Amino acid sequence: MKYVLVTGGVVSGLGKGVTASSIGLLLKACGLRVTSIKIDPYLNTDAGTMSPVEHGEVFVLDDGGEVDLDLGNYERFLDIKLTRDNNITTGKIYQDVIDRERRGDYLGKTVQVVPHITDAIQEWIERVAQIPVDGESGPADVCVIELGGTIGDIESMPFIEALGQFSYRVGSHNFCLIHVSLVPVLNVVGEQKTKPTQHSVRGLRCLGLTPHLIACRSTTALEENVKTKVSQFCHVQKENIITLYDVSNIWHIPLLLRDQKAHEAIFKVLNLQGLTREPELEEWTSRAEICDMLHEPVRIAMVGKYTRLSDAYLSVIKALVHASVARGKKLFVDWVPAGDLEDATAKENPDAYKAAWKLLKGADGVLVPGGFGDRGVQGKILAAKYAREKRIPFLGICLGMQIAVIEFARSVLGLKDANSTEFDPNTKNPCVIFMPEGSTTHMGATMRLGSRRTYFQSTECKSAKLYGNKRFIDERHRHRYEVNPEMVARLENAGLSFTGKDETGQRMEIVELRNHPYFIGVQFHPEFKSRPGKPSALFIGLIAAACGQLDAFLPGSESKRNIPNGPANDMSQRNIPYGASNDMPQRNIPNGASNHMFQAACGQLESFFQGSETKRNVPNGAAKAYQNGAATKLANRPQDSAYSIFNGMHL
C-alpha cells in the first residue's frame, strides 16, 4: 500500500480537501485504485452534532456515518463509497484507546499519548486503507490521507507525531507528503510573498515531517523566481513546487496538477515509475470547459436556514451544478433566508422581507433543503405554498418534504393547525411525527441514517421515470421525524401522491403533487450520491422543469431521437415557460455517457466555436444574468477564494 499525505499551513480554508480529491482523481486517471481518509483533530466522535454554520454540512455515507464534508468531495471526485471509519477524529481515537484500557488490553501499563494514542492512529490508518471502496475486491493501490487543520495547531500534535512515525514504519518509497501552503500577494507591494510558506515548512520539519511536494495556493500562477525561492528555502526540488491558482471552477484543479506533472513527481517518490499510464482525463476536461462556456441561465431559489454559509448546503449546491451542467444551463442560486419570508419580518425589517420575496418570485425553481429546529419553518411553508399555487418547479428534501405536506394539509385540507410534532408537540393534526425507534435523550447517531431502500408505488410518476423506471432505489437518509401514516389516506384523497415508500409501506419516502409541472418532496437526501458525471435524477428533473424541458426529458414522452433514455426535445414546437430559450435543443445525458456524447448533450458548443452571437441570443455578445435583482455580466464574475467562486459560492 502506498500513502499520500496532504497537510496544510499558514491559514485554514486553503482547499486541502479539493487538493486531496484532485490528487486522488489524478492517480485514478493513471490507472491506480484509490481510497481516502480524512483526519479531523477535533474531539467530537463524528460531525453529527455540529452546527452547519460552524463546520459546514454533515455528509452522510451509505453505512450511516455522519462525517466531514471533505469526504463528500472524495466521493464526488473519485466516484467511490467510503465508510464511517474513513473519517478519523480525536474523539474516535481516544474513545478506542480508553475502551481498550477498560478491557485490560494494556495489561496495567500507564496509557499515554505516545505510544498508545499514536499507535492507535497508525493502526486505524492501516486497517481502513485496506477496505475496498470502489466496488472491486481487495485493497486499493494508494490511500490519500488529508490532515485537517493547520500545521502548528495544538490539537493536531498527536496526529503529526503518529504520521511521522508512520512514514518510517511503511518505508520511504511508500509515503509521499504534499504540503498545501499560501503564497499571498500584498496589494501595497504587488509581489508574491514566500515567507509564510517558508515558516510553515520549517514548522513541519520541526515536527518530524519533510514535504516531497509543495502545493502553493495563490491568486495567480507562481513566477519562476518565486518557485526558485521556495525550492531553495524549503529544500524541495523546483519541479516539485506546484502552483494552484484561482480558477473558474474546481474541476480545473486536477488538470492543473496534471499539466504540472504532479503525478510524475508523486510516482517518483513512491517508486511507481513505469507501472502506470498517462492520466486519462478527457471527459473530465470537457466537463470543466463546458461548465465555463455555459451562458443560458437557470435560477434556483434556495430557501433555507443557514443561507449565510454556502458550505452548510455544499452537497445540494454541487448536485445543482452537476444537473445544470448536464442540462447545458448556467446555474444561479438565489439564497433566500426562510425567516425573511415570514410576516414577522415584514413588520420588523420590511426591506429584507421585500428582497426575499423578490428573489423567490424571480426564480425558475424552488428548493427547500433539510434542516432541524423551528426557525424559518413558516417561511419554508410559505415558499412551498407559493411554488404549489404558482406552479413553479419545487424540490423539497427531508424537512423540505415535511413542510410541503404540512402546507398541503393546511391549505387544501383546511387543517389550519396541521404541524409537525417537532415544532408543536401538542398539535391536534400531526402531519409529521417522531420516529418510534428514535431517541429523545441522545443527539448523536440516533436518527434514521444511511442508505435505505425506497419502493416506487407506480411507474407513471415523475420520480420513477426520472430514476429510469426502476422498481426501487437506495438513497441516504438523515432524519428523526417522518410523515404520519395515519394522515396519508386523507392527503392522497385530496390530490397528494406518496409515490415512494419503504419496504413496510408505512414510511413515506417520496411525495408528488398531481397536475403540477414538478412538485416533489423526498425524505432522503439525493444530493449525497450525485456525481459530476452522474447527476442526481431528482436534481436533473428540477433543472429540466425549471427550464421548461421536463416533458421532453422524461423517458417515453417522445421518440424522435435514438439516444438511450434521451428523448427528443423539439423546443421550437413547445411553449417554454420560465424564460427558457427555445432556440437551442437541449438533450439528455445518460449516466456514464462518453466524452463526445457529453459535449453533444449540452447543445451549446457550436455557437461558441462558430462565434455566432445570433445563435446564442445574447445581446452585445455578453451573457447577462440577474442575481439579487441586479444585472451582472458573467464574463466579469470574480474568480477568488478557495479555488473558485460560482455565483458567489464555492464550487
> pLDDT digits over 270-284, tens only?
999 888 899 999 999
> Do both 270 and 168 map to the same domain?
yes
pLDDT in tens, 231-243: 999 999 999 999 9
Average pLDDT over residues 437-451: 66
- Domain closes at, from 289, 310, 338: 289
> Do both 530 and 508 map to the same domain?
yes
> Do both 15 and 34 map to the same domain?
yes
Is-catalytic flag, 212? no
Question: Which is nearest to 474 in space by CA: 443, 453, 497, 495?
Answer: 453
**Per-residue pLDDT for 91 more than 70?**
yes
Residue pair 533/409 in contact (Cβ under 8 Å)? The answer is no
- Quick check: helix, strand or coil at residue 508? strand
Percent of the chain at pLDDT exceeding 70: 83
Q: What does residue 136 show for φ and ψ, rounded to 5 degrees?
A: -100, 165
Strand partners, 334: 301
Q: What does residue 505 show for φ and ψ, rounded to 5 degrees?
A: 80, 0
CATH number for the domain that contains residue 373:
3.40.50.880
Q: What rounded mean pLDDT belongs to the chain?
A: 85
Is-catalytic flag, 216? no
Query: What is the structure's pLDDT at 502?
Result: 94
**Per-residue pLDDT for 369 more than 70?**
yes
**Per-residue pLDDT for 467 more than 90?**
yes
pLDDT in tens, 35-77: 999 999 999 999 988 888 888 899 999 999 999 999 999 999 9
- Quick check: helix, strand or coil at residue 635? helix
Q: DSSP state, 418? A: -
Question: The C-alpha cell of 200 is what?
Answer: 510553515
Is residue 340 a part of any domain in this protein?
Answer: yes
- Domain closes at, from 245, 269, 289: 289
End-to-end Cα distance, the chain: 32
Contacts of 292 (CB under 8 A, 6+ apart): 248, 249
pLDDT band for position 438 (cuts 50, 70, 90): low
What does the alpha-carbon distance between residue 331 and residue 328 come to, in Å, rounded to a whole number?
9
Is residue 58 a part of any domain in this protein?
Answer: yes
Among candidate residues 263, 479, 525, 650, the one labeled active-site is 525
DSSP, residue by residue, 527-538: GGG-BTTB--HH
Residue with grid cell 437526501, as numbered in its chain: 525
Is residue 343 a part of any domain in this protein?
Answer: yes
Which value, to the nearest 10 degrees, does the dihedral of the CA atoms of residues 609, 614, 619, 620 take?
A: 60
Contacts of 373 (CB under 8 A, 6+ apart): 305
Residue with grid cell 391536534, as numbered in its chain: 428
Among candidate residues 30, 431, 527, 547, the one labeled active-site is 527
Is residue 585 a part of any domain in this protein?
Answer: no
> Do both 280 and 317 map to the same domain?
no
**For residue 506, what are the domain limits?**
294-417+485-553
Question: Which is nearest to 76 in space by CA: 577, 536, 611, 401?
Answer: 536
Question: Which is nearest to 394 in space by CA: 281, 286, 516?
Answer: 516
> Do both 285 and 395 map to the same domain?
no
Average pLDDT over residues 205-231: 94
**Per-residue pLDDT for 337 more than 50?**
yes
**Residue type at 266 in one-letter notation:** I
Total number of domains constituting the chain:
2
On the 0-12 / 13-18 / 19+ scale of CB atoms within 10 A, 577 is middle
Query: What is the structure's pLDDT at 186?
Result: 84
**Per-residue pLDDT for 142 more than 60?**
yes
> Do both 398 and 372 map to the same domain?
yes
Query: What is the structure's pLDDT at 276?
Result: 87
> Do both 317 and 381 map to the same domain?
yes
pLDDT band for position 189 (cuts 50, 70, 90): confident
Is residue 67 a part of any domain in this protein?
Answer: yes
CATH number for the domain that contains residue 48:
3.40.50.300
What pTM did the predictor assign?
A: 0.84
Among candidate residues 398, 461, 547, 602, the one labeled active-site is 398
> Do both 266 and 401 map to the same domain?
no
**Per-residue pLDDT for 650 more than 70?**
no
- Domain closes at, from 248, 267, 289: 289
Q: How far is CA 260 from the centre of its chain?
A: 27
Query: What is the structure's pLDDT at 109?
Result: 92
Is residue 338 a part of any domain in this protein?
Answer: yes
Is-catalytic flag, 525? yes
Query: What is the structure's pLDDT at 108?
Result: 86
pLDDT in tens, 490-506: 999 999 999 999 999 99
pLDDT in tens, 521-562: 999 999 999 999 999 999 999 999 999 999 888 876 543 333
Question: Which is nearest to 144 in space by CA: 284, 274, 33?
Answer: 33
Query: What is the structure's pLDDT at 358?
Result: 96
**Per-residue pLDDT for 629 more than 50?**
no
Residue with grid cell 421585500, as numbered in its chain: 354
pLDDT band for position 437 (cuts 50, 70, 90): low
- Quick check: helix, strand or coil at residue 209? coil
Is residue 581 a part of any domain in this protein?
Answer: no
> Do both 251 and 303 map to the same domain?
no
Is residue 240 a part of any domain in this protein?
Answer: yes
pLDDT in tens, 558-613: 433 333 333 333 333 333 333 333 333 333 333 333 343 344 444 443 333 333 33
> Do both 274 and 191 map to the same domain?
yes
Query: What is the structure's pLDDT at 625?
Result: 35
> Do both 300 and 279 map to the same domain?
no
What does the alpha-carbon distance between residue 240 and residue 231 come to, in Å, rounded to a whole number?
8
> Do both 228 and 299 map to the same domain?
no
SS3 per-residue string spanning 353-369: HHHHHHHHHCCCEEEEC
